[in-house]
Amino acid sequence: MTHIAPLPKDAIVDPELRGLIAEAETLGVPDDLFPRILARAPEQAVPLMRALIMSHAQGNVDHGLKEIMRILLARFANDKYFASLRSAKARAMGLTEQRIDDGCFAYEDDAKGFSAAEKCALRYADLMFLDAGQLDKPFYDEMKKHWSEAQIMELGAFIAFHYGMQMFMRSLGAVPPA
Amino acid sequence: MSVNPDAVDAVFFNELRRHYSDDEIVELGVFIGFNLGYHTFFGTLKFYPMFSPDGRLVSQAESEKLYGAAPVSLGKAEAAE
């Protein structure tokens, strides 16, 4: 039970929000708990849900890589709710639990097979809330060797937004679905 | 939520409820989460205000000279004048 109770699903009448919930349920991230809590702030719920789904499942960076980054962040945030969720789209693309664990805990290990670009992106997520001071000009120069500036903004905004929502869900005591 | 998330517990939420509705607490929580994430991200980008304290549109190089090696608030810049 979260500190703030989610609204019952049938109490959500906004068709746009209901559509986004259905879209998220198909993706698997988030399930209906997050938007049913968010629905208590209806003016924020639609844009936040849209940003959450768009930043994760759309854009110009590989979705499987962003799924690993999302789980890495959720584990760092100690948010058991988002850390437990998995993208059906990423799974269909071939992402395995082993690959997720390798990406979270051993991405710098050459034997794990992450490309230089993927290592850089995972380092970005790893360091953002661990030691942002290391995300300095040399780091961004290295990022630019592998990613366009548009992709770097996509990754940075994705990291910032998902981590923020993960910390919010952690604060509510959200737990993985049964 | 940022410095000591473990302190945001049931006792804390009970205190919050003395002042805010559950709906308002959700609004505050997502606002804090959003800002917690984006301010850290923006901090790594090292960008500076687009305008000088007197309202001129300035380049990032000039803005850095005006506001210092590290980003500071306009209030601090004004106080330093």
Q: Which two tokens stand for residue A122?
A: 């995972």
CA dist., res. B52 & res. A162, Å (int): 33
Q: Check CB contact of A167 with chain B, cutoff 8 Å.
A: yes
CB contact under 8 A, A167 and B36: yes
A150 lies in some domain: yes
CB contact under 8 A, A156 and B45: yes
**A19-72, pLDDT tens digit by residue?**
999 999 999 999 999 999 999 999 999 999 999 999 999 999 999 999 999 999
Owner of token pair 């890495």: A72
**B31-68, pLDDT tens digit by residue?**
999 999 999 999 899 888 899 989 999 998 999 888 87
For chain B, what are the domain ranges?
Answer: 1-45, 47-81
Residue of B12, B26, B36, B60 best to disrupt the A interface, most CBs of A under 10 A: B26
CB A53 within 8 A of CB A18: no
* Among candidates A44, A132, A171 on the partner chain, residue whose Cβ is nearest the Cβ of B5: A171
CB contact under 8 A, A164 and B33: yes
Q: Check CB contact of A78 with chain B, cutoff 8 Å.
A: yes
pLDDT band at B30 (very low <50, low <70, confident <90, very high): very high
Cβ-Cβ pairs closer than 8 A, A with B, add up to 86
Angle at A160 between CA A14 and CA B76, to 5 degrees: 110
A38 lies in some domain: no
Continuous segment of H or E residues that includes residue B58: none
CA dist., res. A32 & res. A18, Å (int): 10
Q: Which residues contact A169 (CB under 8 A, 6 or more apart)?
A: A34, A37, A79, A81, A82
A84 lies in some domain: yes
Domain limits for position A93? 61-171
Q: How far apart are the first and last CA of chain A?
A: 12
CA dist., res. B26 & res. A68, Å (int): 27
A57 Ramachandran zone, left/alpha/beta (phi>0; psi -120 to 50):
alpha
Q: Which residues contact A42 (CB under 8 A, 6 or more apart)?
A: A14, A17
Number of domains chain A contains: 1
**A60-118, pLDDT tens digit by residue?**
999 999 999 999 999 999 999 999 999 999 999 999 999 999 999 999 999 999 999 99
Q: Which residues from chain B sit within 8 angstroms of residue A4, using beta carbons?
A: 13, 22, 25-26, 29
Angstroms from B56 CA to nearest CA on chain A = 27
A109 lies in some domain: yes
